[in-house]
Structure 1
Amino acid sequence: MATTTAGMAAATEPHRSSAATKATKKQHIADEPLTRHNWYKHVNWLNITLIVGVPIYGMFAAYWTPLQWKTAVWALAYYFMTGLGITGGYHRLWAHSAYSARLPLKIFLAAVGAGAVQGSIRWWSRDHRAHHRYTDTDKDPYSVRKGLLYSHFGWMLLKQNPKRIGRTDISDLNDDPVVVWQHRNYIKCVIFMGMIFPMLVTGLGWGDWWGGFIYAGILRIFVVQQATFCVNSLAHWLGDQPFDDRNSPRDHVVTAFVTLGEGYHNFHHEFPSDYRNAISWHQYDPTKWSIWIWKQLGLAYDLKQFKSNEIEKGRLQQMQKKLDQKRQTLDWGVPLEQLPIIDWDEYVARAKDGQALIAVAGVVHDVTSFIKEHPGGKALISSGIGKDSTAIFNGGVYNHSNAAHNLLSTMRVGVLRGGSEVEIWKRAQRENKDISFVSDSSGKKIIRAGSQVTRIAEPVASADAA
């Protein structure tokens, strides 16, 4: 439309330079189809170098660099420290404000977070808030709907149009002096905390300068990055959804082990301001444990938790949804309101005419195919044909089980006129009168065990059978 309008502009319109026109028409490369002719324009070469190229170099260099056990221990320890900088700092402290931290803890988390080399706090938290607000949509910067690899690191390897990412409020981050300082000095922080600091520890500590650079620096960065990326990919692909299944986040212990406790992602997306990801004592969440320890040391405070009542409501609603979905796959018999009304005389006549019909609690059932399978024998079930068998079925001869009532409901063929409450309920349903019953999420009536229409506590005969 813009091109057409420009082409039809009036002669009196001020002259536009060709450069300005091109700038107006220029489209972001991310909005153009990726082809074999322009693929290199879509690639974010800086991120390719940092996320793929440097780790490959580190792997080759490691072949000629002996790994000392002290360096291995330090690399593992620094991996956990920088990992906590992301999970406990970038994520739970700054992106979600799940707790508050004193200045020394903020400085520590900002420093080791920079050592993870995943962007500044401000940039990381801004995208993560957009991810939560626009989960699985085009405004989600790393939507798993675009593919597992895309959500893992493809969104960083390919250029994105920043205008396509959903907007979020980061005014609180702009007011945090630690966040602002780290953002302005991010490159210096990354170089020092990512490479120089871990190398200084190994070099000054036991003379392993090169080993510190390769193992505690390059390869440690690669591992902590890939672990964090799993929160965007694996946590939206592997596991269960105990709280909500409308979006992709899932819970799985494997993801939790990989991501320092961020694997209970379905819970996290439902209750993002909770400082925990894992709420059960046996679930692996070292980030939660670390935050709790920081509180005991006076470094953290105001640890937020959703009320257990709200958590259990969400869990119960999801369980009910799954039950409803399962219920819809089962045969519960023709609903009473869809059955025809049969006069008593017609019922008796059809039974005498050879149809194996029995009446229980005002509902007519065709038991022809079940007579030979009746556990109580053919004679007993045949004795109720053409009669009101309510009393017989409910204790007169045998007090049938819940399973028997469920099975009987699948044999319904009609409702007796004068069949007490059954016909009244059916008529009211047909006339759209207010009839109270419990229904599932699809509007289907829920039949609880023991509440089947055929189960009568004190058997009564129908009026016409008296």
Structure 2
Amino acid sequence: MSDIHQRHPSPVDKLDPAFSPLAEKADKPTGIDAAVGVKPIRPVDTPSDSKIPDNYVSYTIAQQKYLPPVTLKNVHKNIQWISFFALTITPAAAIYGILTTPWNTKTAIWSVVYYFVTGLGITAGYHRLWAHRAYNASVPLQYGLALAGAGAVEGSIKWWSRGHRAHHRYTDTKLDPYSAHEGFWWSHVGWMIIKPRGKIGAADISDLTRNKVVRWQHANYITLIFLMGAIVPTLVAGLGWGDWRGGFFFAGAARLCFVHHSTFCVNSLAHWLGEQPFDNKHTPRDHFITALCTVGEGYHNFHHQFPQDFRNAVKWFQYDPTKWFIWTMHSMGLASHLKRFPENEIKKGQYTMKLQELQEQSEKLQWPKSSSDLPVISWDDFKAEAKERSLVAIHGFIHDCSSFIEDHPGGAHLIKRAIGTDATTAFFGGVYDHSNAAHNLLAMMRVGILDGGYEIEALKRRPAESAASSVTNSPVSSASASSVDVASLPDQDDFLLDQTQLNSQGPKPAAPFGQPQAMTADKWTLSVPPSEKYRIVRTVPEIRPGLLHRVHTLDKVTRADSNGEVAEFIGEKE
């Protein structure tokens, strides 16, 4: 027995009861299908794209020969006449029937119902079941969807799915059969009426060749489109309430015209109208109007990112009757294995696009000068220059506050008294804990950087408990701290860790009072542009509980309590 006959069922075969062994013969067309020469589908096991090279897309686009452009002189040679007549005679018949046929409410309701039946044959059947394998359907449901899809007269499952898989794989390229880059009308109907200029990209449908329902529908497709597209809608209206003419023109021709353009809008409108909340690499977009026009296929940006999700609208309240239909079939036991992409991955896509949007907005804003573009100024030069200009040092940066003094919400006197001094402590909560807006405004006033560096001790010091323990064991008691000279404090290096010790310390303790949280490694505010790497611009001594120490300002001494807060102002430095 050959290897093909001994082939073991794949996981897909086990989940799909309509799959059949490769040894089974192809379904032979009969009747009108045989007369017009419909070729049967032969089951194959080897994917048609299994041997394409890694550079297939670029190579094929560059190497394949394209037909010459369509002109008035050669247009008759480039029309696909079967599609042309189907897409022109149908609307013409619908218009004629609407103008000449009496209105019948029952027929109108039946036309709408049959529109959704055949529309779901495309969206739930052709599209989500067979083209994307978003769920599994029982054999009865598959036959029902195959019949309904035939009533939409858009080609067989095999033909439709092959083109759609190529569309997803080669979106917006010359290998895409209905690329939006070729224009709105091309992606809507042009690609069916005019012969393609080149071959569409390779797309495997070997799985569909092994499906009994797909093979049966393809072998009998011509018969089925007449039966489901014209005879059934006419019979229901005629036998039901005697409106044979209305059944043919309204439920047949007019309904078919609407179903056609509903599907066509997925290829055109869904690539032109709406937003791109998940990805903007290609043209697909999300929009409620498109969803209304396409039986729920309007959230196309989501669909192109997560094509095997049985949902097109990810939110429960978004209009997607196809999703609701599939869920109902699942509840009735007729569908199974409904696929959903992980919520975490869906949110990643949304998060990425929001970040991109924020980046685009940030590029339109005016940001403060980068520290690399500012001059480095010594303390003495800063003091001297401050006699001529309203310069204030905060956070290692020198700011010119001349234009803001009179507009300061807290009063001009607070800025005036800080001129020529380091007001970091006052700015970061000593006098007032300023808002992000204040940080942003202050950053725009930068004119220089203080020489000497501004090192973040919070990144290197021991946890607060270790520091407190060291202070407790110090020969200098907190009771006598007020009389201790700053210079007699333990050496700062005694409290530093090397990188190995730092990595083993666990969470970093909170920065002490006066040390800006905005400058710690795991936090930043808009006062530092996102694109600017942190620059160390000045050393800040660590505040130790119960001991006198200098806090930011060069001319003031304060007492720090056990929590690192400034307990009282001691006085000016002599």
The equivalent residue for 2:134 is 98
Cα distance in 2 for partners of 1:290, 1:33 equals 43
* Cα offsets for 1:15-63 (capped at 9, x unmatched): xxxxxxxxxxxxx996212223223333323222111232113212321
Contact 1:99 1:304 (C-alpha < 8 Å) held by counterparts: yes
1:445 lines up with 2:480 in the alignment? no
Structure 1 equivalent of residue 119 of structure 2: 83
Deviation for aligned residue 1:438: 8.3
Q: What is the CA–CA distance in structure 2 between the aligned matches of 1:183 and 1:339, rounded to whole Å?
A: 73
CA contact (8 A) 2:90 2:256 kept: no
Q: Which has the larger radius of gyration?
A: 2
Q: Partners of 2:144 and 2:428 in 1: how far apart? A: 73
Worse-matched range after superposition: 237-246 or 221-230: 237-246
Provide, for residues 174-203 of structure 1, a one-character-per-residue CA deviation record: whole Å limited to 9, x for no partner: 111211221222211111111111111122
Q: Say if 1:418 and 1:462, in contact at 8 Å, map to a contact too.
A: no
Question: Contact 2:66–2:198 (CA<8 Å) still a contact in 1?
Answer: no
Say whether 1:51 aligns with 2:142: no
Structure 1 residue 320 displacement after superposition? 1.7
Matched with 1:128 is 164
Q: 1:256 aligns with which of 267, 291, 303?
A: 291
Residue-by-residue CA offset, 1:364-393 (whole Å, 9 max, x unaligned) = 112222223222333321222221111222
Q: Is the 8 A contact 1:419 1:462 kept in 2?
A: no
Is 2:121–2:146's contact at 8 Å kept on the other side of the alignment?
yes
Secondary structure of 1:31's aligned partner: coil
Q: How many residue pairs get matched?
A: 420
**Equivalent residue, structure 2, for 1:329:** 364
Q: Deviations over 1:196-224 (max 9, x none)?
A: 11111122222222211111111110001
Q: Is the 8 A contact 2:97 2:250 kept in 1?
A: no
Q: Please tell me whether the aligned partners of residues 270 and 300 of structure 2 are also in contact (alpha carbons under 8 angstroms).
A: yes
Q: Report the CA distance between 1:357 and its aligned residue.
A: 1.6
C-alpha contact 1:82 1:113 (8 A) present in aligned 2: yes
Aligned ranges 1:285-434 → 2 under 5 Å: 285-352=320-387, 354-421=388-455
> How far did 1:321 drift?
1.7
What secondary structure sits across from 2:398 in the alignment? strand
SS at match of 2:386: helix
Aligned partner of 1:445: which letter?
Answer: P
Query: What TM-score results when the alignment is normalised by the length of structure 1?
Result: 0.84
Q: Does the CA contact (< 8 Å) of 2:393 and 2:399 recur in 1? A: yes
Q: 1:158 aligns with which of 194, 197, 201?
A: 194
Give the structure with the larger helix fraction. Answer: 1
- Give, as a single letter, the amino acid of the residue that structure 1 aligns with 2:161: S
Cα distance in 1 between the residues matched to 2:523 and 2:112 = 56
The alpha-carbon deviation at position 97 of structure 1 amounts to 0.1
CA distance in 1, matches of 2:258, 2:320: 18
SS at structure 1 position matched to 2:317: coil
Select which of 294, 309, 313 maps to 1:274.
Answer: 309
State the one-letter code of the partner of 2:432: Y
CA distance in 1, matches of 2:101, 2:66: 40
Q: What is the distance in 2 between the residues matched to 1:464 and 1:43?
A: 88
2:551 is the counterpart of 1:460: yes
- Which position in structure 2 is the counterpart of 1:208? 243
The aligned counterpart of 1:31 is: 67
Q: Distance in 1 between matches of 2:360 and 2:288?
A: 26
Provide the rounded CA distance (Å) in 2 between the counterparts of 1:463 and 1:248. 59
Cα shift at 1:446: 6.3
Structure 1: gaps of 5 or more residues: 1-27, 426-434, 448-452
Partner residue of 2:179? 143
Letter paired with 1:411:
M
Q: Distance in 2 between matches of 1:44 and 1:359?
A: 77
* Aligned mates of 1:36, 1:387 — CA distance in 2: 81
8 A Cα contact 2:107 2:251, kept in partner: yes
Instruction: After superposition, give the CA deviation of every residue in 1:82-111 in whole Å (9 maximum; x if it has no partner).
Output: 000000000000000000011111111001
CA contact 1:340–1:413 (8 Å) conserved in 2: yes
Mapped pair 1:71 → 2:107: yes
Q: What is the aligned partner in structure 1 of residue 218 from structure 2?
A: 183
* 1:20 aligned residue: none
Mark the runs of 5 or more structure 2 residues left unpaired by the alignment: 1-63, 460-519, 544-549, 557-572
2-structure distance, mates of 1:42, 1:246 = 32
Deviation at 1:162, TM superposition (A): 5.5
Give the deviation of 1:437 after TM superposition.
Answer: 7.2
Q: Is the 8 A contact 1:418 1:464 kept in 2?
A: no
Alignment CA distance shift 1:286-1:351 (3 Å):
same
Cα distance in 1 between the residues matched to 2:76 and 2:313: 42
- Cα offset for 1:228? 1.0
Contact 1:30 1:159 in 2 (8 A): no
Cα offsets for 1:311-367 (capped at 9, x unmatched): 112222221221122122222311223322211111112222x22221101111122
Question: Which residue number corresponds to residue 114 of structure 1?
Answer: 150
Q: 2:256 aligns with which of 205, 212, 221?
A: 221
Q: How many Å apart are 1:65 and its aligned residue? A: 1.2
What is the RMSD computed on CA atoms of the aligned residues? 2.9
- Cα distance in structure 1, aligned partners of 2:191 and 2:380: 74
Name the counterpart of 1:22. Answer: none
Between the aligned partners of 1:372 and 1:38, the Cα distance in structure 2 is 77
Q: What is the Cα deviation at residue 436 of structure 1?
A: 6.7
- What letter corresponds to residue 408 of structure 1 in structure 2? L
Q: Distance between the aligned counterparts of 1:368 and 1:53, measured in 2?
A: 78
Give the deviation of 1:262 after TM superposition. Answer: 0.8
Question: Per-residue deviation at 1:260?
Answer: 1.1
Query: Structure 1 residue 238: deviation in Å?
Result: 1.4
